[in-house]
Amino acid sequence: MRILAAMSGGVDSAVAAARAVEAGHDVVGVHLALSRAGGTLRTGSRGCCTIEDAMDARRAADRLGIPFYVWDFSERFRDDVIDDFIAEYQAGRTPNPCMRCNEKIKFAALLERAIELGFDAVCTGHYATLIEGESGLELHRASDNAKDQSYVLGVLNAEQLAHTYFPLGTTPSKAIVRAEAAERGLTVAQKPDSHDICFIPDGDTRGWLAEKVGTATGEIVDRSGAVVGSHEGAHGFTVGQRRGLKLGVPAPDGKPRFVLEVRPVSNTVVVGPKEALAIGEISGARFSWAGAGPADADFLCHVQIRAHAEPVPATAFVTADGVRVVPEQPLDGVAPGQTAVLYIGTRVLGQFTIDTTVSAVPVGV
């Protein structure tokens, strides 16, 4: 196949490209320039898509003997990922920018251009596997559960899956990938993995958002509506947050309180006991299937609400308005804007963006 290898500058994508070459494919490497600040530098494991990452990707491509290009996707990244991130927080939701990047950039914009240029597939260093099932191609978890990235790939549809290539999916551990990189003479063999939001490399999401949308004083209230504190912008809070609340009125039982809800219209933050974070039902309208959808309108599955969360047994109900999921045990600290990925066994069935949540603990309990 003609393969376009997305090379981030990290060890995973470098080894994935190397395996594609070794498998006999015609491989071309490409690094996506996603930042408008061309001189952005990397600090350890913070940040990605920096100038150092581009240089690391180029060195890896040279070592593999494949053509290499840098494509400027910064405008598309700003519109589809950064602006979406800001808008979601302003709407009182907690977005996942990695999901949006996979959905809109790596497996939409990049894949579209790749197909236009005559490539058969895009190769990435994600840890996930593709299996040909009875009803078509299926997305499954990786062999190494600790590195499994199928959750962040749950946004891919059947057409996109047909043009993807994940060479690392069956690798037993990340240590093997690093050892292979060293063996191949790739300088990124011991490079730290990236974490945090790539366009907020210092990790200060609240400060970053304050710069983008400004501050606006509002009230922090408890579940009964009593004012217990104030804040400088509801966008700076997420469901489940405990630190930084600076409440002026202690809880009657003296226990810590957590953010339960963010109300952007009234610029209000609702807090309460940890028990009230338990969610008994979630639903959303924006959903997609990773391959063939379910045969029945309701079905048993597992739901996962974060990249490294434990999947929880649940029942899903599909209607004309979206998907509703009732877990067998309450989910902890779910926020509108998060992505719920549905699994049957190791297979990713599909995903939806959570619009509404129903607390498992009624007010007053």
pLDDT in tens, 55-106: 999 999 999 999 999 999 989 999 999 999 999 888 888 888 888 888 889 8
Q: Which of 48, 49, 98, 101 is catalytic?
A: 101
**Residue that wins the pLDDT comparison between 6 and 246:** 6
Give the residue from 258, 256, 245, 252 showing the smallest Cα distance to 218.
Answer: 245
The sign one gets for the Cα dihedral 189, 191, 197, 198 is negative
Confidence of residue 227 (pLDDT cuts 50, 70, 90): very high
**Could you tell me if 212 and 199 are in contact, meaning their C-beta atoms sit under 8 angstroms apart?**
no
Name which of 177-191, 196-210, 323-337, 339-353 the model is least confident about. 196-210
Within 8 A by CB and 6+ apart from 267, the residues are 216, 217, 218, 219, 233, 234
Active site residue 301: no
Identify the residue whose tokens are 């749950």: 154
The rounded percent of the chain whose pLDDT value lies above 70 is 95
Within 8 A by CB and 6+ apart from 301, the residues are 313, 314, 315, 316, 325, 342, 343, 344, 349
Q: Characterize the bridge pairing of strands 136-141 and 347-353.
A: antiparallel
pLDDT of residue 16: 98
| E strand map for the chain | 2-6, 26-33, 68-72, 121-123, 128-133, 136-141, 164-165, 218-221, 227-231, 258-263, 268-272, 278-284, 287-289, 298-304, 312-319, 322-327, 331-332, 339-344, 347-353, 356-359
Distances (CA, A) of 30 to 3, 115, 210, 228: 11, 14, 34, 52
CA distance 70 to 55: 10
pLDDT of residue 98: 85
Does residue 320 register a pLDDT over 80? Answer: yes
**Could you tell me if 109 and 73 are in contact, meaning their C-beta atoms sit under 8 angstroms apart?**
yes
**pTM score of the predicted model:** 0.89
Q: What is the CA radius of gyration of the chain?
A: 22
pLDDT in tens, 141-170: 999 988 999 999 999 999 999 999 999 999
pLDDT in tens, 243-286: 889 898 888 888 899 999 899 889 999 999 999 999 999 999 88
What's the rounded mean pLDDT across residues 108-121? 95
H/E run at residue 16: helix 11-22
CA distance 176 to 180: 6
CA distance 295 to 46: 43
pLDDT of residue 353: 94
pLDDT of residue 141: 97
Confidence of residue 44 (pLDDT cuts 50, 70, 90): very low
Q: What rounded mean pLDDT belongs to the chain? A: 90
Active site residue 49: no
The sign one gets for the Cα dihedral 332, 335, 338, 340 is positive
pLDDT of residue 333: 80
What's the rounded mean pLDDT across residues 12-33? 97
Does residue 42 register a pLDDT over 90? Answer: no
